[in-house]
A and B are shown apart, each in its own frame.
Chain A
Amino acid sequence: MDTLMLSRIQFGANISFHILFPTITIALGWVLLFFKLRYNATGNVRWMEAYRFWVKVFALSFAMGVVSGITMSFQFGTNWPGFMETVGNIAGPLLAYEVMTAFFLEAVFLGIMLFGFSRVPGWLHTLATFLVAFGTTMSAFWIIVLNSWMHTPQGFEMREGVAFATNWFEIIFNPSMPYRFTHMMLASGLTVAFLLAGLSAFRWLLGDRSNGVRATLKTGVFMGALLIPVQIFMGDLHGLNTLEYQPQKVAAMEGNWETQSNVPLLLFAIPDEEARENRMEVGIPNMASIILKHKADGVVPGLNDFVAEDGTVMHPPVAPVFWSFRIMVGTGFAMLLLSWAAAFLMLRKRRGPEGIPTFMYVAMVPMAFSGWVATLAGWYTTEIGRQPWLVQGVLTTEMAVADVPAPFVGTTLAAYLAIYALLLAAYVGVLFFLARKGVDGDVPRPRTPLSGQAIAREIPAE
């Protein structure tokens, strides 16, 4: 393989590994604040139990996110110098604002949030929890501004091949930013909802019936049930935005080769880029036209419009985009089904967690990571869908790659992959280990429920 392909796989592997953890910490920060505020309001220890368990997951995920994030900030330079040389005047300030307004805030207050409970006044600990959550969200905001600008660039002019900012308001509030940011925030919320529900279900299956588990299970299920319809609606809006600004991506998502009306929604197909057609198509007639244009005879753009006269293909590789999109949507509907069913059964006759049958708890355990699957599939759809561009219409990926010898990139790629595989296994293993330890009474539960002022109990940071 050549340097370009290896560098792309390396960056793709790094960013895929990285996004797993911010996806958890962005929303988990707010969930922890919710637990803390419920505890402050009610004095009920189950909220503090929930806080103590999930703050460990937060700390672990945060560390994974930090270290993999540092790796990426270096790879801009080591592998993609053309990116900063061409659009550095725009990407630079956005990244700088991320570091200045988000990274330090979250990193500094994380120390107080994790280890400061008995060292600082209660309000400062709650404030630290808030600032960590706020910091992670700010970080997501700035990086998504930059990412969205790469998809829908505006507010700049090119002088001698270098982009110069002309309007920062246009750059920050570029056309796809509001959609992408909301879509990603909801994705984070759903990832955490299903992680909460999944690990709580795991503890439930092991016989844990503590109030802490009940609290987190309910939080997870209801959070998922509330967010998933909003997310499906938001995803649709995002798709329409993409249709307007990156029609070639939508064409690849739909597997639609010719610009035409009455396009079916393909449930299955094997796109063949050589023959420029699909094999083994199974679809719902007119449905793609209805979704994208809101009428059965709506015209949907086709991939063949994005091939230059000389045969240069200016649309993304079709199969990966087509399939990633289907995996994301399929996972989304599985989330809808599970969370609504579980929420319904809990609300019916007010039975609570006892209303959920065992098989559904079993299903929740693997679904703990459904948010990861959907998030990765979604990012693959949009990022592979941007190819061959790095910055849509401004800079191709090929132009930006560093002239590092392929064996160098191959070596570092192999090393990163080995470490990421190991760490991912360790991470998932430790999550379940912590959950099991929670069941075995890592948290000594009081025999009689404490009321009013609860006393903080001694639990080592393990």
Chain B
Amino acid sequence: MDLFGDPAVWLPLTFAALMGVSILVYVVLDGFDLGVGVLFPFATDEEKDMMVASIGPFWDANETWLVLAIGLLLVAFPSAHGTILTALYLPVAIMLIGLILRGVAFEFRVKAPTPHKATWNWLFFAGSLMTSLAQGFMLGKYVMGLESTWGTWTFAAITAVFLTVAYSMIGACWLILKTEEHLQAKAVTWAKGGIWGLVLGLGAVSLATPLVSPRIFDKWFSVPEILYLAPLPILSAVMVALLWRSLQHLPNPTDTGARAPFSYAIALYVLAFGGLAYSFYPFVVPEQLTIYEAASAPESLMIILVGAIFVIPMIGGYTALAYWVFKGKAAELRYD
């Protein structure tokens, strides 16, 4: 299969792209449902039920994108998988415990005896918070080249907070889209309050990345690259402005523009992710291991790719079906 040139070049690139898309889809999709969990303490018990109802049919599939992303890292870049995950041992463990707690709390909060519901609600929040913080922490460590110093820990602690706020922001945008009346009005306030996290998070990562690595600095700030790349920060600023403006018009009696904040938030996530991907390419372990060095044997990648070509469009198709079936405002979750 030399149709596209040397498979040892295009296969790793293809898999890096697939993995990138999976991570992006994951942070958008699980981002909003983690965010909804993080917002739990600000809601009344009745609102909590509605918040869970808005993500109930989706969260399982949303989390599967994490499994796909980590799976692709595992199968396509096995040595990078080991290096990254052993370097992030503790935050990964915290994230996993968080995911466990929130995943089961989803079920237990409505199935356990009513007096226990408050506990499970609390665990749902705690799990969502642990997961978001741990993911933000890992992002920070990754940006810092997986180094362990006081400086990198501090930076990672800051990105942990920012990513959590960013998740709660996209979670609030999701709620604006999926809910009505007082909860929607509250979600608008939450979204307004969360924008700073998004902006500061974007800013911190964008500034730190080139400062940590001269290579990344050169990739961004040399001519003519800086001209091609200028639209990225400019578009991001435009999106933030549009997002802010769309929130000013909500809620309104006709629910006009309820979709807008969520769309702008997704656009921001995509732009931010694009910037990161550009900075780190071709490295999968920052400054240590490129995707070409870390890639599995081409024969093995090929056999996965053949399957992926058939299966991924199907996944897209039936995921769309699920979002279509549960389109519109969230309703109480019922098994009948």
Measured CB to CB, the residues of A under 8 A from B are 52, 55-56, 59-60, 62-64, 66-71, 73-74, 76-78, 81-82, 84-85, 88-93, 95-97, 99-101, 103-105, 107-112, 114-120, 162, 164-165, 168, 402-404, 408, 412, 415-416, 419, 423, 426, 429-430, 433-434, 456-462
The smallest beta-carbon distance between B193 and chain A, in angstroms, is 30
Q: Give the 9 A-B residue pairs with the shortest CB-CB distance, closest first.
A: A81-B82, A92-B75, A77-B85, A111-B57, A88-B78, A67-B103, A84-B78, A107-B60, A107-B61
Chain A residues with CB below 8 A from B97, complex form: 415-416, 419
Q: Please tell me which one of the listed residues A64, A67, A104, A459 contacts residue B61 in the complex, with CB atoms under 8 A apart.
A: A104
Q: Are A85 and B79 in contact (CB under 8 A)?
A: yes
Q: Are A77 and B304 in contact (CB under 8 A)?
A: no
**CA of A165 to CA of B335, assembled, Å:** 46
Chain B residues with CB below 8 A from A67, complex form: 99-100, 103-104
Chain A residues with CB below 8 A from B5, complex form: none
Q: Are B104 and A115 in contact (CB under 8 A)?
A: no
Q: Which of B160-168, B251-259, B318-326 contacts A (4 or more CB under 8 A)?
A: B318-326
Chain B residues with CB below 8 A from A60, complex form: 104, 107-108, 111
Q: Are A78 and B304 in contact (CB under 8 A)?
A: no
Q: Are B335 and A92 in contact (CB under 8 A)?
A: no
Q: Are A78 and B93 in contact (CB under 8 A)?
A: yes
- Whether B151 sits at the interface, judged by CB under 8 Å, is no
Q: Are A93 and B96 in contact (CB under 8 A)?
A: no
Chain B residues with CB below 8 A from A95, complex form: 71, 74-75
**CA of A460 to CA of B84, assembled, Å:** 44
* Chain B CB within 10 Å, residue with most, of A59, A84, A95, A456: A84
Chain A residues with CB below 8 A from B104, complex form: 60, 63-64, 67, 423, 426
Q: Which residues of chain B from 206 to 240 have a CB within 8 Å of any chain A CB?
A: none
Q: Please tell me which one of the listed residues B57, B303, B318 contacts residue A93 in the complex, with CB atoms under 8 A apart.
A: B303
- Whether B308 sits at the interface, judged by CB under 8 Å, is yes
- Whether B311 sits at the interface, judged by CB under 8 Å, is yes
Chain B residues with CB below 8 A from A419, complex form: 97, 100-101
- Whether B157 sits at the interface, judged by CB under 8 Å, is no
**CA of A337 to CA of B76, assembled, Å:** 49
Q: Are B71 and A78 in contact (CB under 8 A)?
A: no
Q: Are B322 and A77 in contact (CB under 8 A)?
A: no
- Whether B182 sits at the interface, judged by CB under 8 Å, is no
**CA of A70 to CA of B110, assembled, Å:** 23
Chain A residues with CB below 8 A from B333, complex form: 114-115, 460-461
Q: Are B300 and A81 in contact (CB under 8 A)?
A: no
**CA of A430 to CA of B120, assembled, Å:** 13
Chain B residues with CB below 8 A from A90, complex form: 300
**Given known A93-B300, A112-B325, A115-B326, contact A81–B332 (CB-CB < 8 A):** no
Q: Are A97 and B307 in contact (CB under 8 A)?
A: yes
**CA of A187 to CA of B335, assembled, Å:** 28
**CA of A88 to CA of B15, assembled, Å:** 15
Q: Are B111 and A111 in contact (CB under 8 A)?
A: no
**Given known A97-B307, A114-B57, A423-B104, contact A404–B86 (CB-CB < 8 A):** yes
Interface string of B13-41 (1 = CB under 8 A from A): 00000000000000000000000000000
Count of B residues near A, CB < 8 Å?
66
- Taking A52-B336, A56-B111 as known contacts, 18 extra A-B pairs with beta carbons closer than 8 A to each other, sorted by chain A number, are A68-B100, A77-B82, A82-B82, A89-B299, A92-B304, A96-B72, A99-B67, A100-B307, A107-B64, A109-B318, A116-B325, A403-B86, A419-B97, A423-B104, A430-B108, A430-B112, A461-B333, A461-B334
Measured CB to CB, the residues of B under 8 A from A are 56-58, 60-61, 63-64, 66-68, 70-76, 78-79, 81-86, 88-90, 92-93, 96-97, 99-101, 103-104, 106-108, 110-113, 296-297, 299-300, 303-304, 307-308, 311-312, 315, 318-319, 321-322, 325-326, 332-336
Q: Are A434 and B111 in contact (CB under 8 A)?
A: yes
Interface of A is mostly: helix
Q: Are A402 and B335 in contact (CB under 8 A)?
A: no
**CA of A76 to CA of B73, assembled, Å:** 11
The smallest beta-carbon distance between A45 and chain B, in angstroms, is 12
Q: Are A165 and B112 in contact (CB under 8 A)?
A: no
**CA of A63 to CA of B81, assembled, Å:** 25
Chain A residues with CB below 8 A from B332, complex form: 460-461
Q: Are A76 and B81 in contact (CB under 8 A)?
A: yes
* Chain A CB within 10 Å, residue with most, of B57, B60, B75, B318: B60
Q: Which residue of B lies closest to A105 (CB)?
A: B318
**CA of A67 to CA of B75, assembled, Å:** 20
The smallest beta-carbon distance between B15 and chain A, in angstroms, is 10
**CA of A269 to CA of B61, assembled, Å:** 49
Chain A residues with CB below 8 A from B325, complex form: 111-112, 116, 119-120
**CA of A112 to CA of B326, assembled, Å:** 8
The smallest beta-carbon distance between B70 and chain A, in angstroms, is 6
Q: Please tell me which one of the listed residues A89, A457, A462 contacts residue B111 in the complex, with CB atoms under 8 A apart.
A: A462
Q: Are A110 and B60 in contact (CB under 8 A)?
A: yes
Chain B residues with CB below 8 A from A52, complex form: 335-336
Q: Are A100 and B311 in contact (CB under 8 A)?
A: yes
Q: Are A111 and B58 in contact (CB under 8 A)?
A: yes
**Given known A59-B107, A90-B300, A115-B326, contact A78–B75 (CB-CB < 8 A):** no
Q: Which residue of B lies closest to A48 (CB)?
A: B336
Q: Are B326 and A119 in contact (CB under 8 A)?
A: yes
Q: Are B71 and A99 in contact (CB under 8 A)?
A: yes
Q: Are A118 and B299 in contact (CB under 8 A)?
A: no
Chain A residues with CB below 8 A from B56, complex form: 111, 114-115
Chain A residues with CB below 8 A from B67, complex form: 69-70, 73, 99, 103
Chain A residues with CB below 8 A from B100, complex form: 67-68, 70-71, 419, 423
Chain A residues with CB below 8 A from B311, complex form: 100-101
**CA of A193 to CA of B162, assembled, Å:** 49
| Cβ contacts A to B, 14 pairs, < 8 Å | A64-B107, A66-B103, A71-B96, A77-B84, A81-B85, A84-B74, A84-B82, A89-B297, A100-B315, A101-B307, A101-B311, A107-B64, A108-B319, A415-B97
Q: Are A74 and B96 in contact (CB under 8 A)?
A: yes
Q: Are B336 and A457 in contact (CB under 8 A)?
A: yes
Chain B residues with CB below 8 A from A114, complex form: 56-57, 333, 335
Chain B residues with CB below 8 A from A416, complex form: 97
Q: Are B113 and A433 in contact (CB under 8 A)?
A: yes
**CA of A434 to CA of B111, assembled, Å:** 7
Q: Are B296 and A92 in contact (CB under 8 A)?
A: yes
* Chain A CB within 10 Å, residue with most, of B71, B86, B111, B322: B111
**CA of A342 to CA of B64, assembled, Å:** 41
Q: Are A430 and B75 in contact (CB under 8 A)?
A: no
Q: Are B72 and A78 in contact (CB under 8 A)?
A: no
Q: Are B335 and A104 in contact (CB under 8 A)?
A: no
Q: Are A426 and B108 in contact (CB under 8 A)?
A: yes
**CA of A412 to CA of B97, assembled, Å:** 9
**Given known A92-B300, A104-B319, contact A70–B334 (CB-CB < 8 A):** no
